[in-house]
Amino acid sequence: MKTELYFEEKKVKSVVPVEGQTTPFGEAIYTVTFEDDSSQVMTARKFAAMQTTEKSDATAARNELSKEMGRQMYGLMVEYGLKFSEIDPVINEVVRLANDGQNTANDILWGNEAYDRSLIDVNRVLLTKYGSEETDTPEGDNGATPEGSPVDSADKE
């Protein structure tokens, strides 16, 4: 009898390794497909830490991931024999590396650095996401975006 697996509240239908992609430490990256035919790409470690045999929720799953990562990071700090005075600088470096990686990836995806981005760039991304071609501002609309457009201010209230 096959055990049913869940990732948060979704029942897992299949787990397939992504060909040609691994983590920096050479571990597998999976495409996890759910019963509702949605899918998510994740590392083998994340899937192992967050999978359950019963439905869960995002908060409980994230807490399990945090506990597992905390144990792993603590073990690694012990392996390096860190002094208490070295812990904060190491954690700060991890945060810096994550932020720099995200910023560099965003620059690559956008095609320019953040300070060079314009509202035209933003509009292009929004049109790609929402598929609307309506970009003209209606006359007399004091510069607001057209009602129902991807950046309609009424959606923000």
Among the listed residues 43, 39, 15, the one whose alpha carbon sits nearest the alpha carbon of residue 28:
43
| Residue position matching structure tokens 């292009």 | 124
Q: Which amino acid is at 150?
A: P
- Please tell me the distance from the alpha carbon of residue 82 to that of residue 87, in angstroms, as a whole number: 7
pLDDT single digits (tens) 77-117: 999 999 999 999 999 999 999 999 999 999 998 888 888 88
* pLDDT at position 85: 98
Report yes or no: 154 and 147 within 8 Å, Cβ to Cβ. Answer: yes
For the entire predicted model, the pTM comes to: 0.66
Q: Residues 6 or more apart from 36 whose CB is under 8 A from it?
A: 10
Specify the DSSP class assigned to residue 131.
Answer: -
* pLDDT at position 143: 46
**Percent of the chain surpassing pLDDT 90:** 64
- The torsion angles phi and psi of 69, rounded to 5 degrees, stand at -65, -40
